[in-house]
């Protein structure tokens, strides 16, 4: 066991994947000599060389376009988008090429591409550095989207993502990069299906809090602070959603509050609310409620504490759910 931050857990997982498979490459802005803005790729170029850890130009569309060509030739590129708000210049490549080429080629081409994205707010950054763009991509068939919430999951999930034959968008909650946990760095790789399974991280009976990424810790703190018996479920995978685990939880508790950083309007919480209402219509004791960012552009750093869901906003939603 080793005590690792989430950033170091991802770094360690990438190193393991690169040692196991010489086809795995890391590429992105400043990922080599600098080791990435958050030092997630620190030391990888020194171990694997400049041909496998590649500093690219500042051109996200070029990074992903190059990754498409590499994947077509049998390589497994792991691309870093330096900040979440920088992913949009590559939107066309991701949604019309990465997501579609496997189907378009009738299975002849495998898009084994991982796109790592530091995601979400909470670090006092400037504009375009604190976005939560998961809903844009969850609407795109052909993409897998996962997000770890702790160092243990980060180490395992990045290895699973790299090994998976489908393209994976790997969202990393940047404000959790420096949180630490004990990680078994010698653990065998679990089956790939585990990558797309939700996890009940706190058992409860009164209501379910469904969350992912940076909001898992927030919801755990809310559950621990409240006198009611709240269950917390970490979705982990956003595309596909593990509805079976979510439905099983809600069928027991009778109430669901979905918590995410992205704006509520058009967010994944709406899709989850619809799906759970269909599946649990007779078990629900209250409407499915959503807590998320407000429908405004991400605010300046001094206002982000007002924008981001916190313990009080989560528990206020629980109060409303329990009042029915």
What does the pLDDT read at residue 267?
A: 96
Return averaged pLDDT per consecutive 10 residues of the chain, 324 residues in all.
Answer: 97 98 98 97 98 97 98 98 97 97 95 98 95 97 98 98 97 98 94 94 98 98 97 98 98 98 97 98 98 96 95 98 96
Q: Which among 162, 154, 170, 76 is positioned nearest to 115, based on CA atoms?
A: 170
- Asked whether this chain's domains 2-196 and 199-322 adopt the same fold, the reply is yes
What does the pLDDT read at residue 193?
A: 86
CATH of 2-196, one of 3.40.50.970, 3.30.70.1290, 3.40.190.10, 2.102.10.10: 3.40.50.970
pTM: 0.97
Residue/partner pairs of 262-266 with CB below 8 Å, 24 or more apart: 262/132, 262/133, 262/134, 262/135, 262/292, 262/293, 263/292, 263/293, 263/294, 263/295, 263/296, 264/290, 264/291, 264/292, 264/293, 264/294, 264/295, 265/295, 266/135
Catalytic residue among 102, 129, 164, 260: 129
Provide the CATH topology of domain 199-322: Rossmann fold (3.40.50)
What does the pLDDT read at residue 287?
A: 98
129 in active site:
yes
Per-domain residue ranges of the chain: 2-196, 199-322
What does the pLDDT read at residue 33?
A: 95
């Amino acid at each position: 066991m080793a005590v690792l931050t989430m950033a170091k857990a991802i770094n360690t997982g990438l190193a393991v994947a690169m040692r196991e498979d010489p086809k795995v490459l890391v590429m992105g802005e400043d990922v080599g000599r600098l080791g990435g803005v958050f030092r997630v790729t620190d030391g990888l170029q020194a171990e694997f060389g400049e041909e496998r850890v590649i500093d690219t130009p500042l051109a996200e569309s070029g990074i992903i376009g190059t990754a498409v060509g590499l994947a077509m030739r049998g390589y497994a590129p792991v691309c870093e988008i330096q900040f979440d708000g920088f992913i949009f210049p590559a939107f066309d490549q991701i949604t019309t090429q990465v997501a579609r080429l496997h189907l378009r080629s009738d299975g002849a081409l495998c898009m084994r591409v991982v796109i790592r994205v530091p995601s979400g707010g909470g670090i006092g950054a400037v504009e375009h550095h604190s976005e939560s763009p998961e809903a844009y991509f969850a609407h795109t068939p052909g993409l897998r989207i996962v997000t770890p919430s702790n160092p243990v999951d980060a180490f395992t999930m990045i290895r699973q993502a790299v090994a998976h034959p489908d393209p994976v968008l790997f969202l990393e909650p940047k404000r959790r990069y420096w949180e630490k946990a004990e990680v078994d760095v010698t653990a065998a790789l679990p089956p790939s299906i585990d990558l797309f399974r939700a996890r009940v991280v706190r058992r409860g009976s009164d209501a379910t809090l469904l969350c992912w990424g940076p909001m898992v810790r927030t919801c755990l703190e809310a559950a621990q602070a409240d006198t009611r018996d709240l269950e917390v479920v970490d979705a982990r995978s956003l595309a596909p959603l593990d509805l079976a685990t979510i439905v099983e939880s809600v069928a027991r508790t009778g109430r669901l509050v979905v918590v995410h950083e992205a704006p509520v309007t058009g967010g994944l919480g709406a899709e989850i609310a619809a799906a759970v209402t269909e599946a649990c219509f007779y078990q629900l004791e209250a409407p499915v409620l959503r807590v998320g960012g407000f429908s405004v552009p991400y605010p300046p750093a001094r206002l982000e504490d007002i924008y981001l869901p916190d313990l009080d906003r989560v528990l206020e939603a629980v109060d409303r759910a329990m009042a029915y």
